[in-house]
Structure 1
């Protein structure tokens, strides 16, 4: 696999976009996972369905929604562009789109991990003087950590492979294409080096495989620990 400097830069840009998207999705997924793992409230099933929708709807639908929400003819889009934070056809839009499609995987894994922890341990920690936040961070999170990390890796892998939603909001400028977008672009351009395209495909498969293997290994280790 003999890649050029530009192709390695595409990989670096892809990792940057996917990493930023994963970081953006972690806190909402963690808070939502805690809410669903520990509480019952009216409309819980409906809200969960809405949160999981990005997992099943076509990614281009998500991209189209971002176009409608952040378009230059909307108040929100105009305001964000005015303060120097353009969403559409900018890295921010690619990060947001990738975060949305990655969120359900991270949320589902975090919820499952938190559901497997004993809430009574938090209560015991609070009786020993810990406040609610410290009991959660010092007791619950360490117990659920392997499951949480597994969810983060799955979300990162999903963000790394995202194409449909980011295609709707991304630029087509060199140096601002992810692996998926670059592969698509190379197939569109007549006379492209198919050998280089094959290298990008193999690189994408390799990275995704490593992430999935690591996430699965952590999940198995966590389940053995719980049994």
Structure 2
């Protein structure tokens, strides 16, 4: 009996899929990934996941007018300071990841370290665009003049700069950073920047409990 399904393959590489279907492969930088240390990649990923976790909690707590209203009703003074602390922490982590590859003779675990190691013009172009976006937010100046150092002229209001700290800008920048990391690791992979937190321990659950307390207090 003839096997009509003979030669049918259920799995294939991206290259085989492209040849079979005629669909062109997405343009991705050619990178020798053997240049990267697995331990450095894992350390970098751990740091970035920490950033994404903070950003996820921030979005859940302060991402909507409704949740902010609940927090303000419970204790607006405290939660405004918590919101500020979250922003500072997130921006500091972003700045660290956007640092130069080296500080003097010391290596930095930054995105640029991996980009320079890759030696890919395409990857460098992606990074350059990301860095321009980073500079345009004012986070770099804020970190250098206020968060990491107390620049006298800045804190006295004699040096002014624009700071674009809205949630959309920060989320977009972190998304672009993740896209660059995916290009370095495996361009076939799309990694979400929103971290799935344990049920009941996430920001949404916290706001929900505060909403219930507010309702009981107003009853």
TM-score under structure 1 normalisation?
A: 0.27
Give the number of the structure whose residues are more often helix, by fraction: 1
Larger radius of gyration: 2
